[in-house]
Amino acid sequence: MFEVDHHPVEPAFGVRIEYQDKIVVLSGDTRPSENLIKFAHGADLLIHEVAAPREFVERTKGRLPPEAAEGHHSPYRPQQAGEIFSRVRPKLAVYSHFSAGEAGIEEILVDTRETYDGAFEVGYDLMTIEVGDEVKVVKNPALER
């Protein structure tokens, strides 16, 4: 485990798992964090939180001030996560813990491409990822969207 920046919630942690020369990193709840980048270095798979701000803000208007999520949930913007992916260069990056819903997935994809040109996926419930010589999502027809 390593500390990440989820202020004002402290402490907050990410997790680095190493097994048989493979590395998987889970960001936990964080905003951009140099410590995350340090511990994600060399990752085969980086699972990282993200939110799509335009859709999220629209959906929560009047119920949640935008700064409530943005204040301690970042990369609130997919571009910020893309910058982290660009610095870490995992074989595969996967988004988790996103509050965009189905409507925000296209926004996440487009915005991430502004800052990251590598392989990434938007996670979904029961997603299976195989980490071997290649890192790939194992397709399960029953779970396909």
What is the reported pLDDT for 26?
A: 96
- What are the φ/ψ torsions at residue 112 (nearest 5 degrees)? -65, -40
Q: Which fold has domain 2-143?
A: Metallo-beta-lactamase; Chain A (3.60.15)
Its sign, for the CA torsion 59, 106, 102, 23, is negative
Average pLDDT, integer, range 115-142: 91
* Residues near 134 by beta carbon (within 8 Å), at least 6 away in sequence: 91
pLDDT band at 68 (very low <50, low <70, confident <90, very high): low
CB contact at 8 A, 25 and 40 = yes
pLDDT band at 107 (very low <50, low <70, confident <90, very high): confident
Domain ranges of the chain: 2-143
pLDDT band at 10 (very low <50, low <70, confident <90, very high): confident
What is the reported pLDDT for 75?
A: 45
pTM of the entire structure? 0.83
Do strands 135-138 and 92-96 pair parallel, antiparallel, or not at all (unpaired)? unpaired
